[in-house]
Chain A
């Protein structure tokens, strides 16, 4: 069930109605929410709903044991249990997502040195949302161990945190403490939450259907037949892909946050205008924020502390490992590995020059927009991200290499333009850029409206968004890019 489909709309309308009918009874509300989350997950992957339940149970028991061990001051036992939870989480990820990749890579490496192995990977179906919910599971036990949260005694509440249907498929990867605190109280019917949530759902649909799916028509047409296209067309498709990714993933995040808000939950933000950044460190602090902050807290910081004796080299080693993890989190392929390494390498000049450790503020001109040097640095950073995403977008290393080799040969070809698609996408992209510029540099300004309309500003914007979605949207129920991770 795609989140921007009519099927989901009907599902959610029913959920919302029953959910608020249950509102005075918190337990009934939570039980109903859990049933809906599992039903939603089972619609997509019924076999893996069992795995989700088992892992939830295992981590809940481990969490309880860690807390008991800490209470009894058995520090070593608590540490071992935490390690066990990480092993289980990583083990699940490794088995479902990476086992075949490592087997294939090992066999390929053995063949290179003359050992002809006939091992083949088995057919393993990757559970939908695995990378997202295993990170939530691990953050639960790690946070208990580090004293950031306490064990949730109510298994139903914990299961709700893991399986929460707006976020289980593609995040945001929420931390346990804020979610469990919210679920401990009944969510009362609040019209403001409903309208604000609906507004975000609409904006997410606009991003996904009007920008991401429109751009996808052009980008896929070129990228999937790159050998028949000119360097100009491949270049344009590559430049549009980061925009498509942003609209697709932030669109999903907006919808997830909006749906959660309508259910009375505040979920962590996942994007903060990532292309208005002047270096790669800045970019990663605003792109997929919940993943990068998770890895910063549980991978980078511990590694950095461990390697602090090496000075800047230790930080570089920590960041390289961290970025490699980010790359590999997306999938089991050398393209993702290189994607991570590529981004890690861009951190090195920042660290050596000391820029990584200090916050550079973007200088603004009289109008309130970035000055030309900063604007150019933003463009440069966008190009850096674009090249990285070419790796990310390629099916495998050989495809990426083929594209690079094809570019000089196809230099004199003409630019392929699908005017209708491009104009539709361009109109909507202008709306996105305008909205992002306003939020970034003019947060207090508002679009001028006549006085009579001012009172109905939000309603007017929402009605306009619906009309725009109907006029510019692609209604093919395209799946989200991050659904595969």
Chain B
């Protein structure tokens, strides 16, 4: 028995040393990475101090140009969005971590149907990207508890970076330009042959809706002006896929700026990279337009901007 105990203690000790030292090395690489994921997540979680944050998934990442928005809004902006259909599980955890450091004046949340629908391609696992920040905030930990094995394995520093070693090793050669303050431009134009609107024939997920509402409540508690936005798509669904978002915003007396069917952009191939993402030209044009609207909103009385949409059932 003594022999076995010695084995166990030595293995556990060696593992702890190796795990911690490897974890430190991985964190070092992670913080220096120019790969989109690693840079966006680490900067948003650890560094940004900007007054206005733009949060959301890839449509936010590619559509909101901080340099233009700063001119329109007269305040510092950072695009904290990340690609990979980062849904509300990720956004809520990120918000928790940011609030541990500072309170931004306003948050612009670009919503996506994956934030409230039971879509099969974006679920709880999206919060896994916050694994390096396990223990930073209660909100982040709550999301990691839902996102697979991160919480049971939280004692391991290495597991927080599981599967990401190649990305971290080659991260310095990533394409994320830090001077763009989180915006990731797309160069090129959509090939319009066979392009169809994306449909969302999925049921509303009560857990995601509750999280969206928690996100809104937290912003209210911290006096953060929250604005929901919906940017244009090249082709639009027949159904009003964003009606739920507008109703939810109205229920919480929040503004929701909907450009989904904005004719200045819809069907303008020269402004799009693919059916859901605008290219550099489209993003710059859109940022100018929404920057003015946001500026008006952020200075106006909130009550005057309540969206005129039917109320959502509780």
Contacts and interface: CB of A to CB of B under 8 A. Distances in A.
A191 B4 contact: yes
Contact of B162 (A6, A189, A456, A471): A471
Interface in B144-180: 148-149, 152-153, 156, 158-159, 161-167, 169-170
Interface stretch (A152-160, A219-227, A460-468): A460-468
Interface stretch (A47-55, A353-361, A472-480): A472-480
B195 interface: no
Interface string A445-485: 00000000000101110111011001111110000000000
B7 A471 contact: no
B11 A459 contact: yes
Contact of A459 (B14, B163, B166): B14
A427 B152 CA distance: 26
Contacts of A460: 14
Of B1, B18, B152, B169, most A-chain CB atoms within 10 Å: B18
Which has the most chain B C-beta neighbours within 10 Å: A6, A195, A471?
A471
Interface residues of B, number: 27
A423 interface: yes
A472 B169 CA distance: 14
Interface in B6-44: 7, 10-11, 14-15, 18-19, 22
Contacts of B169: 423
Contacts of B15: 463, 466-467
Given A191-B4, A194-B4, A467-B22, A474 B163 contact: yes
Contacts of A466: 11, 15
Interface in A410-465: 419-420, 423-424, 427, 456, 458-460, 462-464
Contacts of A195: 4, 7
B158 A470 contact: yes
B10 A459 contact: yes
A471 B149 contact: no
Interface string B128-143: 0000000000000000
Interface of A: 6, 189, 191, 194-195, 419-420, 423-424, 427, 456, 458-460, 462-464, 466-467, 470-475
- The 3 A-B residue pairs with the shortest CB-CB distance, nearest first, are A423-B166, A463-B14, A191-B4
24 contacts: A189-B1, A191-B1, A195-B7, A419-B166, A419-B170, A420-B166, A420-B167, A423-B166, A424-B165, A424-B166, A456-B10, A459-B10, A460-B14, A462-B11, A463-B14, A463-B15, A463-B18, A467-B15, A470-B158, A471-B162, A471-B165, A472-B163, A474-B163, A475-B149
